[in-house]
């Protein structure tokens, strides 16, 4: 009997099976082959009648393209799996138990594939690495470090805490900028509607008179005329710019330059910088507490900053430490323009006192508070600015419409 060839590609299978309680059942699952599909059905307590490969339609491909797993679902999965592993449940059984109550279709299919891989002897990190749409590189690298150090249960527990913390930080930032974003969006939509629909209705009335239109009216009418005459070119160049920008971000050099540019922005740069420092410190703290060797911990933590410019600097730190230099000295040498002086001093004190993990945790917590404070201050500054801008815009729009009407009224009264 020929052995089934292992492949990283998973196929969609349709099955008909019997269940002792509900009778005949039909469904779909993903597996690396028909034998793997039969194993999954057996694990689900089903007796297969027929299993056949299902050909994907264009609609299926489009649905898969836009599917995603919310961060909250990743957190729930990580927390539940860490509890199972800490209780001594074997990895495959733990994955199967956690998988049973997941509602997200993409996460369900991914866990099916992961269970299949792990059952066939593949490591958990390698299997997860085949699904970057669900498990990002940070997640996979931390799991890999936990496997190599033999502390997967501890790493998963710490990873769940980190994901929870990251979610709270991002949620706070999202809530802080939600109101300004809504106000700006509504203002833009109202402005476009007024310029492209309302004002042209009045322009017909204005053109039938001999009065000279005021400057605000002429500006808005010229804007409307320009959009009507060049809308195809505007759309083309807009899409072209977005495509070029998107393609540039897909390259290492383009993404590096963009992240470097973001750090130099006057308001958002410091926020992005502090968020990168926070992620680095929290991940390094997580790995250090679970016993992962410092070199491996530095390598993984350096890749989780979320900014390739900072990650490049942290990679140099890893290189220096691998040559025998101290962590604090290496960080100070290569990231002195990124890490504030007081943070560098705290890292040095923590390393000298043998309490690096505690100090990193304190730095992460302190940096998170600074990020939230900056975001709140930014929101408090933006709200009055946006209010003033909206007031000026509404005033200009009102003048553009009512000044000509007032001039027409005066002309008729004197005439």
pLDDT tens by residue, 77-110: 898 898 888 888 888 888 888 875 556 778 888 8
Sequence-distant (6+) residues with CB within 8 A of 381 are none
pLDDT of amino acid 57: 54
Q: How confident is the model at residue 241 (pLDDT cuts 50, 70, 90)?
A: very high
For domain 170-415, the question of CATH label 3.30.70.2740 is answered with: no
Q: Tokens 């204005």, residue? A: 206
User: Cβ distance 96 to 80 under 8 Å?
Assistant: no
Residue 214: other Cβ atoms inside 10 A: 15
The closest alpha carbon to 380, from 392, 372, 390, belongs to 372
DSSP string, 43-111: HTT-EEEEEEEPPPPHHHHHHHHH----HHHHHHHHHHHHHHHHTT--HHHHHHHHHTT---HHHHHHH
Mean pLDDT over all residues of the chain?
81
**What angle, 0 to 180 degrees and rounded to 10, lies between the N-to-C axes of helices 268-289 and 137-149?**
20
Weakest mean pLDDT among 47-61, 82-96, 207-221, 251-265? 47-61
Q: For the chain, what are the domain ranges?
A: 11-64, 70-164, 170-415
201 or 77: which carries more pLDDT confidence? 77
pLDDT of amino acid 237: 94
Residue 127 has pLDDT above 80, yes or no: yes
Torsions phi, psi of 28, nearest 5? -135, 150
User: Cβ distance 31 to 13 under 8 Å?
Assistant: yes
Bridge partner residues of 346 (DSSP): none
**Average pLDDT score over residue span 22-32:** 72
Give me the percent of the chain exceeding a pLDDT of 90: 11
Residue 1 has pLDDT above 50, yes or no: no
Quote the CA–CA distance of 311 and 400 in Å, as a whole number. Answer: 52
> Hey, do 70-164 and 170-415 end up sharing a CATH topology, with the first three levels equal?
yes
Class (C level, CATH) for 70-164: mainly alpha
pLDDT of amino acid 259: 92
Q: How confident is the model at residue 8 (pLDDT cuts 50, 70, 90)?
A: very low
pLDDT of amino acid 413: 67
Bridge partner residues of 27 (DSSP): 15
Question: Using CA of residue 231, residue 237, residue 243, residue 245, what is the dihedral sign?
Answer: negative
pLDDT of amino acid 206: 67
| pLDDT single digits (tens) 278-337 | 888 888 888 888 778 888 888 888 888 888 999 999 999 999 999 988 988 999 899 888
Residue 201 has pLDDT above 70, yes or no: yes
Q: How confident is the model at residue 5 (pLDDT cuts 50, 70, 90)?
A: very low
Quote the CA–CA distance of 228 and 230 in Å, as a whole number. Answer: 6
């Amino acid at each position: 009997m020929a052995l089934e060839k292992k492949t990283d590609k998973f196929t969609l299978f349709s099955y008909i099976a019997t269940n002792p309680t509900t009778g005949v059942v039909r469904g779909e699952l993903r597996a690396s082959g028909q034998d793997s599909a039969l194993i999954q059905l057996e694990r689900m307590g089903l007796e297969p009648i027929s299993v056949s490969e299902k050909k994907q339609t264009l609609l299926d491909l489009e649905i898969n393209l836009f599917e995603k797993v919310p961060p909250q679902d990743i957190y729930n999965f990580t927390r539940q799996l860490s509890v199972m592993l800490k209780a001594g449940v074997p990895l495959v059984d733990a994955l199967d138990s956690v998988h049973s109550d997941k509602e997200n279709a993409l996460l369900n299919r991914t866990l099916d594939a992961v269970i299949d891989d792990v059952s066939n002897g593949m490591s958990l990190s390698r299997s997860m690495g085949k699904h970057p749409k669900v498990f990002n590189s940070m997640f996979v690298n931390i799991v890999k470090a936990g496997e190599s150090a033999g502390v997967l249960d501890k790493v998963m527990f710490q990873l769940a805490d980190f994901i929870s913390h990251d979610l709270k930080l991002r949620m706070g930032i999202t809530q802080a900028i939600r109101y300004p974003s809504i106000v700006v969006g509504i203002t833009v939509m109202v402005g476009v509607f007024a310029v492209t629909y309302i004002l042209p209705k009045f322009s017909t009335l204005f053109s039938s008179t001999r009065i000279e239109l005021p400057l605000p009216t002429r500006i808005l009418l010229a804007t409307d005329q320009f959009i009507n005459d060049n809308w195809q070119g505007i759309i083309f160049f807009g899409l072209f710019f977005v495509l070029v920008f998107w393609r540039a971000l897909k390259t290492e050099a383009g993404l590096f330059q963009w992240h470097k540019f973001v750090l130099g922005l006057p308001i958002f740069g410091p926020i992005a910088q502090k968020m990168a420092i926070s992620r680095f410190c929290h991940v390094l703290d997580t790995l250090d507490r679970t016993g992962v060797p410092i070199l491996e911990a530095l390598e993984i933590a350096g890749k989780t900053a979320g900014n390739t410019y900072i990650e490049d600097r942290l990679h140099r730190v890893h290189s220096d430490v691998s040559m025998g230099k101290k962590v604090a000295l290496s960080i100070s040498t290569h990231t002195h323009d990124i890490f504030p002086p007081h943070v560098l001093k705290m890292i040095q004190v923590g390393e000298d006192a043998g309490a690096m993990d505690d100090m990193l945790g304190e730095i992460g917590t302190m940096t998170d508070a600074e990020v939230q404070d900056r975001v709140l201050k930014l929101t408090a500054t933006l709200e009055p600015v946006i209010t003033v801008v909206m007031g000026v815009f509404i005033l200009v729009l009102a003048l553009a419409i009512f000044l000509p009407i007032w001039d027409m009224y005066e002309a008729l009264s004197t005439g």
